[in-house]
A and B are shown apart, each in its own frame.
Chain A
Amino acid sequence: MLIELKEIEKTYEIGTVQVPALKKINLTIAKNEYVAIMGPSGSGKSTLMNILGCLDTASGGVYSLNDNDVSAMTDDQLAEIRNREIGFVFQTFNLLPRANSLHNVELPLIYNGTPASQRKKMAQNALEKVGLADRMHHRPNELSGGQRQRVAIARALVNNPSIILADEPTGNLDSRTGEEIMEIFETLHEVGNTIILVTHEEYIAEHSNRIIRLRDGLIERDEAMN
């Protein structure tokens, strides 16, 4: 199994107050699934995504990714997993402001030691896939919101990760640009990628094959779509 969560809990501590964000989540996701995670604000969607993306570790339970127990890994091991297995797409794009598209997309390859020539080829390739071949040397502030998000998607793709995680990727975009971004995810899914995305727009979620609804840190419903 690609992703397997057993009794995953996450509790934030603010001073002496304990805020339970996730309460015993059990979940499996297979390769090439396209999953939408929905739920009201504060229900734990981002927390779940961060744990799935190895940006954060759970307070309890076991998370296996590709049959490896992630819960027991060190920070540096998690960094390598993020580099190799995970492609992250954020609501606020999170591009390096002073770097051009090409360099932003190359970034994950820098940290796994890919030689410069190969890096450039792979980054160009990824930018072509998201339709930005003609914007390689533009900096983020020279691009529209939709274009920025496409650079971010290219960056998530470039290393051929096992999972692409997108936390409200259309949240900062107008609905038409949002649709364009969703089309890219759809294509990525068709060519075999596993995609998990968070949204609270039903029409965005309808692109997926499976919708998981969270409420107060619990899975309220988990349904397959047609």
Chain B
Amino acid sequence: MRILIYAWEGIKIAFEALRSYKMRSLLTTLGIVIGVTTVITIVSLVQGLNKAFANQISAIGTDTLYISKMPWIIRSDKEWFSYRNRRNITVDYAKKIKQSATLVQAVSPVLMTRRSVKYAGTTAERVLVVGTNADHLITANALPEQGRFLMNSDVRHRKAVCVLGWDVAKALFTNVDPIGKRITVGGRKFKVIGVVEKKGSMFDFNMDNQVYIPIGIFQTAFGARWRSVDIQVKAISPAVIEDAEIELTGIMRRLRGLPPGKENDFAINKQSMLMDTYKNLTNVLWAVAIGVGAISLLVGGIGIMNILLVSVTERTREIGIRKAIGARKFDIMIQFLIESMMICALGVVIGLLVAIVVAKIIAATTPIPAAITLWIAALGIVFIVAIGLFFGIYPASKAARLNPIEALRYE
């Protein structure tokens, strides 16, 4: 009860002081404002980036593994050259994996190239031609919107059929049903059997600018017998992804005839690798946020401490009066700590407002959905208390320790 009464007195005094010295208080909060704005903007930026990135790579399922000669993340040229010399991965691995793996529901070998695609005088340039099998429907989530996807018999008999990506279909066929039409892919004739539904894009990669053909035809048509194949594997659920990776590693080592102790000469890629690399990147941003934030908050805090010391000196007589009348050390201490926290609060509130505006601008002008969430605002309150207390303690205790007689005599 008692503490509430003089805490309220403290708040009134602090308001009075802030009002009397508007400009001084505002300038004092500048450091805090900059610190809070920086930290909160970067935090909201990182959160926005996280969201955007997760969105982008959601096309790579968390339940899918990609077996390849090369890992997705290569750190140096030297690594790259050593991976390049590895033996090729061949199409028949896919069949063997499908036969022996237990945690796997679909396996599709993949070869790709860019070719132009033509129909009745219309040409689509640089279309990604994907040679694969029927399982690609599942591993790449290539659901047919019209017609059907490749089937086992198409692949086995190397039929000259193709399935179009959404954008390819739109580019070549206006007002015409593409199903059953014969088109030219890289100089060869293929019959259209289906159109895959719109998939969107991942970063700059347009997943709808594709044509799917049986992998056997791909190899003969585009002279790719010597090229290493990538194998996409869909586990039976995201939960078993790690076990599936272990199982696949075992199968691959057996297929490659690797004796125990010898290193893997293939890579099993997955979404989390991209996520990890990305997180390393955002860690840099976090470090910048923490660094800049800490420095400006330190500067801001010292500013507050300085202004409070001035305030204590200016109000020496007032402190003397309060002590003569019965204020204890603690009462005076509280008064100045409250004032310190209120200056901080002013800075944090201004900083938050500026950060909200900055986040809105970022969200409006870039694809990053930066936003201030509730916990960021809560972080602001923690700032107020922590900085206000930390930098207020010294001036407040200086005020509390003043000798009442000397304070009363102060001119």
Which residue numbers of A lie inside 8 Å of B, CB to CB? 50, 53, 55-56, 75-76, 79-80, 82-84, 88, 90, 94-96, 98, 107-108, 110-116, 155
Contact = CB atoms under 8 A, between A and B. Distances in A.
Contacts of B173: none
B284 to A, nearest CB: 50
B16 A111 contact: no
Contact of B328 (A76, A84, A94): A76
A153 B376 CA distance: 52
A111 B317 CA distance: 17
B406 to A, nearest CB: 10
B326 interface: yes
A71 B352 CA distance: 53
Interface string B295-321: 000000000000000000000011011
B8 to A, nearest CB: 8
B327 interface: yes
21 contacts: A55-B404, A55-B405, A76-B328, A76-B330, A79-B323, A79-B326, A79-B329, A80-B326, A82-B325, A83-B325, A83-B326, A95-B321, A96-B318, A98-B16, A98-B20, A107-B321, A108-B325, A111-B6, A111-B326, A113-B1, A113-B2
Contacts of B323: 79, 82
A107 B322 CA distance: 8
B324 interface: yes
B325 A50 contact: no
Contacts of B9: 110
Instruction: Determine which residue in A96, A115, A116 has the highest number of CB atoms from chain B within 10 A of its CB, and name it.
Output: A96
A212 to B, nearest CB: 21
Contacts of B324: 53, 55, 82, 88, 94
B204 to A, nearest CB: 64
Enumerate the 8 nearest inter-chain pairs by beta-carbon distance, A residue then B residue, closest first.
Answer: A83-B326, A113-B2, A79-B328, A111-B326, A76-B328, A108-B325, A82-B326, A111-B327
Given A110-B6, A111-B6, A76 B408 contact: no
Interface string B1-45: 110011001000000100010000000000000000000000000
Nearest to B401: A75
A110 B329 CA distance: 14
Contacts of A112: 2, 326
Nearest to A97: B318
A69 B323 CA distance: 20
A108 B323 CA distance: 10
Of the candidates B2, B320, B326, B408, the one having the most CB atoms from chain A within 10 angstroms of its own CB is B326
Interface residues of B, number: 24
Contact of B405 (A50, A113, A155): A50
B405 A88 contact: no
Nearest to A112: B326
B154 interface: no
A45 to B, nearest CB: 14
Interface of B: 1-2, 5-6, 9, 16, 20, 317-318, 320-331, 404-405, 408
B326 A84 contact: yes
A96 B323 CA distance: 12
A61 B63 CA distance: 87
Given A96-B318, A113-B2, A90 B325 contact: no
Contact of A108 (B318, B326, B404): B326
B317 A94 contact: yes
A127 B326 CA distance: 20
A163 to B, nearest CB: 14
Contacts of A111: 6, 322, 325-328, 331
Contacts of B16: 98
Contacts of B320: 94
Contacts of A90: 408
A84 B328 CA distance: 13
A170 B129 CA distance: 104
A114 B327 CA distance: 13
Nearest to A53: B324
A95 B1 CA distance: 26
B325 A75 contact: no
B321 A94 contact: yes
A12 B203 CA distance: 80
A197 B396 CA distance: 34
Given A50-B405, A76-B330, A111-B331, A88 B5 contact: no
Given A82-B323, A98-B20, 14 more contacts: A56-B405, A76-B328, A82-B325, A82-B326, A83-B326, A88-B325, A90-B408, A96-B318, A107-B325, A111-B6, A111-B326, A112-B2, A112-B326, A116-B5
Which of B6, B318, B323, B404 is packed against the most chain A CB atoms within 10 Å? B404
B408 to A, nearest CB: 6
Contacts of B326: 79-80, 82-84, 108, 111-112
Contacts of A82: 323-326
Nearest to A80: B326
A80 B325 contact: no
Contact of B329 (A55, A76, A88): A76
Nearest to B403: A56
B306 to A, nearest CB: 22
Nearest to A79: B328
A23 to B, nearest CB: 20
- Looking at B325, B327, B328, which has the most chain A CB atoms within 10 Å of its CB? B325
A188 B324 CA distance: 21
Contacts of B329: 75-76, 79
Contacts of B318: 96
A82 B330 CA distance: 15
Contacts of A56: 405
Contacts of B405: 50, 55-56
